[in-house]
């Protein structure tokens, strides 16, 4: 019985979990969220404009170092469905027949690298830290007189609603799993099932948005996010919206490593 339970547990598929950090106390977890977002953006742009083997190797090296420093376990990687490998195999065969095998492989490696880079930011960053970093990241847009406060508020509310929507989707998928799959599924039946699932998720999200709108209406016209790194004002320390932003040694090292990697990709890529 114990062997059977062990086999069923190992065969259980790991779901895709987005924006859920891995509970660790590592130097990469303590890096400011804005530093990680800007570093990921810089690496993505540099690797996308120079997708050579050298650039992909440098990107892979940075990702390996980041995963090792953050001590990311293997269990956070979701189970990849078989049809993904089937589609990749079909594309590999078609590109090999057409003479574009090298470009296809580099494109696939670049896509996987960017996906792992975005996942690494999500695995090492709490959602609240990401919300707090938005006012600082959008601060330069104030010089162009753009509605930064409104954009930050919308993004912050959307990010804060993600855990609620994710929980509702888990309940929906659990109910679908309990209901089972009656009969042989046809393409028309599969499409109807997808449409029903999307409709249920949209209805649940609309209900959550309505409740959130009512709560904001009762709360009054106040900013939903903290605007930026400010110290105590004349009104006293209680009126301070946020502690001053202090970059640590980990932020400096991250910036230096990413800057060196981007320079190497641009020069040797």
DSSP state of 236: B
Between the CA atoms of 233, 236, 237 and 238, what dihedral angle is there, to the nearest 10 degrees?
-110
Beta bridge partners, 233, equal 236
pTM value? Answer: 0.74
Lowest mean pLDDT among 22-36, 143-157, 173-187, 245-259: 173-187
pLDDT reading at 93 higher than 60:
yes
pLDDT of amino acid 269: 67
Mean pLDDT of 183-193: 64
Mean pLDDT of 70-79: 85
In 3-state terms, what secondary structure has residue 233? strand
Mean pLDDT of 60-73: 93
Q: Around 85, how many Cα atoms within 13 Å sit in the side-chain half-sphere?
A: 4
87 vs 167, residue with greater confidence:
87
> Cβ-count burial of 58 within 10 angstroms (0-12 exposed, 13-18 middle, 19+ buried)?
buried
Closest CA to 39 of 113, 118, 116: 118
Dihedral pair phi/psi, residue 233, rounded to 5°: -100, -170
How confident is the model over 190-237, as pLDDT tens digits? 677 777 777 777 777 777 778 777 877 787 665 544 444 443 333 333
pLDDT reading at 254 higher than 60:
yes
């Amino acid at each position: 019985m114990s062997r059977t339970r062990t086999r069923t547990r190992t065969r259980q598929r790991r779901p895709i979990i987005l924006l859920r950090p891995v509970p660790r106390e590592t130097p990469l977890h303590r890096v400011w969220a804005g530093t990680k977002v800007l570093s990921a953006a810089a690496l993505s742009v540099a690797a996308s404009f120079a997708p050579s083997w050298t650039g992909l190797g440098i990107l892979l090296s940075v990702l390996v170092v980041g995963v090792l420093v953050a001590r990311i376990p293997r269990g956070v990687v979701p189970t990849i469905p078989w049809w993904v490998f089937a589609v990749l195999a079909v594309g590999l065969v078609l590109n090999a027949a057409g003479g574009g095998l090298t470009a296809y492989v580099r494109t696939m490696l670049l896509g996987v690298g960017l996906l792992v880079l975005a996942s690494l930011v999500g695995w090492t960053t709490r959602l609240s830290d990401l919300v707090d970093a938005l006012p600082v990241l959008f601060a330069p847009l104030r010089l162009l007189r753009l509605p930064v406060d409104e954009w930050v508020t919308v993004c912050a509310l959307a990010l804060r609603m993600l855990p609620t929507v994710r929980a509702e989707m888990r309940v929906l998928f659990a109910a679908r799993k309990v209901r089972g799959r009656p009969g042989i599924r046809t393409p028309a039946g599969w499409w109807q099932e997808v449409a029903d699932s999307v409709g249920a998720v949209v209805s649940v999200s609309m209900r959550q948005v309505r409740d959130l709108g009512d709560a904001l209406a009762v709360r009054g016209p106040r900013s939903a996010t903290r605007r930026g790194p400010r110290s105590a004002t004349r009104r006293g320390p209680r009126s301070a919206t946020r502690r001053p932003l202090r970059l640590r040694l980990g932020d400096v090292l991250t910036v230096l490593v990413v800057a060196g990697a981007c320079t190497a990709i641009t020069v040797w890529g």
